[in-house]
Amino acid sequence: MNEQTKDSVPVSASDTAALVAEVSGAADLEIPSAETDVEISVHRREDEDRFAAVLAEWRIGTIGHREIGFIHYAHGDDVLVIDSTFLEPEFRGRGIAADFIADVLDDLRDAGTRVAVTCEVVSAFIAANPEYSDLVA
């Protein structure tokens, strides 16, 4: 089993299967409440070859930040090779994974970057959202 880690969090086959089901529309999603005091943003960590999903939690008088997921990539010939995706289990089933992937692919499109995809999760997302297939080299 090929596993990537982020701070010793393994990306296992079951993690991948759960995310594939979510982004392909095969999982029932629990849409978060509109009153939720969280915001998720995407940060490119070029020195680590990954995009990070960062949660900003609004607390009284402060904002806390926490990385809740990542999309890892490698550099190929004129493309980024997306090879793994992870989202912490407590944030699955709410459509966050699909939004995260879409945001990353939108950013790559805006930058004129083409991708090759070996990650099952991102492949499933693109299959379910063919408007992103033009990015695939």
Q: What is the pLDDT of residue 15?
A: 81
Q: What is the pLDDT of residue 126?
A: 96
Q: Which residues of the chain have pLDDT under 50?
A: 1-9, 33-37
Q: What is the pLDDT of residue 82?
A: 97
Q: What is the pLDDT of residue 31?
A: 53
Q: What is the pLDDT of residue 33?
A: 40
Q: What is the pLDDT of residue 27?
A: 55
Angle of helix 96-110 versus helix 13-23 axis, rounded to 10: 80
Are 126 and 132 in contact by the 8 Å Cβ rule? The answer is yes
Q: Which residue has tokens 């930040």?
A: 65
Domain 8-33+71-135: give its CATH code.
3.40.630.30
Render pLDDT for 36-49 as a digit per residue (tens, 0 to 9).
445 789 999 999 99
For the chain, the domains span 8-33+71-135
Q: What is the pLDDT of residue 52?
A: 96
> What pTM was computed for the model?
0.80
Residue 55, beta-bridge partner list: 40, 66
Q: What is the pLDDT of residue 9?
A: 44
Q: What is the pLDDT of residue 124?
A: 95
In the DSSP assignment, the letter for residue 10 is E
